[in-house]
Structure 1
Amino acid sequence: MTYVIVKNEEVGACYYRQKDKDFTKDLMAASKWPTVSRAEEILAELSKTGAQELAIEETAKLKQQVKQEQVVKKDTELREYAHQLLTAKDREFYAELERVSRFLAASPYLLEEISAKISQEDGTVLQDLLHTIELGDYRAYEGLALLKDLRASRKKRRYYKDRQQAVNYLLTKTNTGQVNTTSDKARVALSKLGDLQVERNYNYRNSGLQAKYAKLLEKQPVQSWVQLFTRLRKG
């Protein structure tokens, strides 16, 4: 469960984005805090700057409201798209049909390629780095290099995982290994793709690590790797 800071304006609800020190209409891009008390701390800081009409809301409830609005909007867009196809010239109509068909036909191979990339990062790369960290005798600058490579590997893995999830929204794999899709699956994909294009939050499983490192995930700018390690030592 997470919380956001909401500001009601004439254009509608806006949500605080700590990285920019500003408000956005995009709930997915808003900063989110794991506890009400942490959100209250940020709210108190904002109030000192003169900001008014601020409130703390549970992210899940707001997401549900936004999704309901998006369903109505998406249905309207799909009807307009269908009308455009109906009235399109033959060349445009069949070009669009070929584009969609080509993607669906290639999707099983796409998933195979993505799975191989994820396995590479989870297997070979991650294990090499973790064993080097565990067994290696390295100096500070070499430790920074290891951390940088580990982070790069996890970001690459996330890149492929997001694409895997996006394709899986659209497809269903049968017991025989065949990959199928329906218009209903396509609707699900359209409704969820936006969730993959926002800042990712993480809920710690270990309370000790959460107390020590959670502030590092609040998207505060870090000027250098040296500064990052300085902050970790202070924590």
Structure 2
Amino acid sequence: MDGAGERGRFITLEGGEGAGKSTQARRLAAALAAAGLPVLRTREPGGAPGAEAIRALLLGGVTAWDPTAEAMLHFAARREHVLRTLRPALAAGMWVVCDRFADSTLAYQGYGQGLPRAAFDALAALTLEGLVPDLTLILDLPPELGMARVAGRGEAATRYERLGPAFHARIRAGFRAIAAAEPERCVLVDAARPAEAVTAELLALVRARLGAPLP
């Protein structure tokens, strides 16, 4: 939490490609809303007009950036998201469910592409100004299963989805390392199971960790 006083709750869903983050974010937000809580569901890159413009560049392009330049683009989008969407919603007492946040940049550009940790920390300090999720749910599954799910969607692959198996293996290792380093904030969830089982565990975690009035 960012110490700003009375505020809503900030939940992020993280994980590699095909882990089911978008599906689970929708289900979690719907469950919170059904429980009578004010909810905002959002995503990264994106979540604000300027950030959505950068999302199209990051996911749809073919450019291979230097890892630092790529991280700077992600954090530029994140800065817009934080200022325009996240902080106002949290200040208004809303429960925010976000599909990806800063941990994705650490996993993808840090563990995946070699961005130095000091560069990540400097960019995070500059753009986030202390905003940290109350709970991060990391959906974990073998990369080959995730990529098979992606292929089964029948949609055009994003730039990250087109990267090779070694990259996706580093991503998974990165997320697992993040979860191990911050157990008070992060929970590793087995996402190889059916979606309904994953949803049930996520609802139980949000109820236990944050006191949400969920069934």
TM over 0.5: no
Higher relative contact order (CA 8 A, sep 6+): 2
More helix by share: 1
Larger Rg: 1
- Compute the TM-score of the two structures, normalised by the length of structure 2: 0.29
- Compute the TM-score of the two structures, normalised by the length of structure 1: 0.27
